[in-house]
Amino acid sequence: MRALETILVGKGLVDPAAVDLIIDTYENKVGPRNGAQVVARAWTEADFAQALRDDATTAIESMGFAGRQAEHMEVLWNTPDTHNMVVCTLCSCYPWAVLGLPPVWYKSAPYRSRAVSEPRKVLSEFGVTLPESTKVKVWDSTAEVRYLVIPVRPEGTEGWSAEALADLVTRDSMIGTGLAKEPVT
Ligand code: FE
């Protein structure tokens, strides 16, 4: 990447200040909290949940989260019957606008291959053990489509505000390699 940047800057095709600004934005300003707000709203507002089902890109954009790597979003709803998890087998496609920069493991060759060949084993390494009756579906992210997993809403959170619920939503739970946190009682 460094070499590529050097060539592009040398040719006057990119401005290094612009590159730094983009990196700073996604490293420090955009993070998984955007996605957590989307999830909490999906849990608490039936209309918004429906809007996500109809057109996730537009619904997410309506919250101000749009742009790079979120041009075509789809949401995957985890249920007790079906657990969805996301990988990019080819490279590292990831919805930056809602989740920030991808974690290092997401880009690693072992995750990219093993998420497909042995998803339950990978999940167990993330500390997630699902009942045998829960079907695991693995989605391959591409340049065309980016996924956001809506984790199962934890029990015991009835009546919670979207703001409080968002604190239970972890980055990994929106990739499908984790579950939402249990409320502390
Ligand atoms: Fe990719």
Give the pLDDT band (50/70/90) at residue 24. confident
Taking the model in full, what pTM does it have? Answer: 0.88
What's the 163 CA to ligand 1 centre distance in angstroms?
A: 31
Rounded CA separation 96/88 (Å): 13
What's the 89 CA to ligand 1 centre distance in angstroms?
A: 7
Q: Is the backbone of residue 55 left (phi > 0), alpha (psi -120 to 50) or beta?
A: beta
SS (H, E, C) the chain: CHHHHHHHHHCCCCCHHHHHHHHHHHHHHCCHHHHHHHHHHHHHCHHHHHHHHHCHHHHHHCCCCCCCCCCCEEEEECCCCEEEEEECCCCCCCCHHHHCCCCHHHHCHHHHHHHHHCHHHHHHHCCCCCCCCCEEEEEECCCCCEEEEECCCCCCCCCCCHHHHHCCCCHHHHHCCCCCCCCCC
Rounded CA separation 160/35 (Å): 18
What's the 45 CA to ligand 1 centre distance in angstroms?
A: 31
Of residues 163, 149, 170, the one with CA closest to residue 32 = 170
What's the 92 CA to ligand 1 centre distance in angstroms?
A: 4
Please say if the pLDDT value at position 163 is more than 70: yes
In this structure, which residues have their CB less than 5 angstroms from ion ligand 1? 88, 90-93
Give the pLDDT band (50/70/90) at residue 70. low
Residues with catalytic roles: 88, 91-93
108 and 120 Cβ atoms separated by less than 8 Å: no
Q: What is the largest CA-CA distance in the chain?
A: 59
- Report the chain's C-alpha Rg in angstroms: 17
Q: Which domains does the chain have, with CATH numbers?
A: 31-175 (3.90.330.10)
- Tens of pLDDT, residues 76-98: 999 999 999 999 999 989 998 89
- Look at the block and give the residue holding tokens 């057109």: 55
What's the 32 CA to ligand 1 centre distance in angstroms?
A: 18
- Tens of pLDDT, residues 112-123: 999 999 999 999
Note the residue count of the chain.
185
Please say if the pLDDT value at position 75 is more than 70: yes
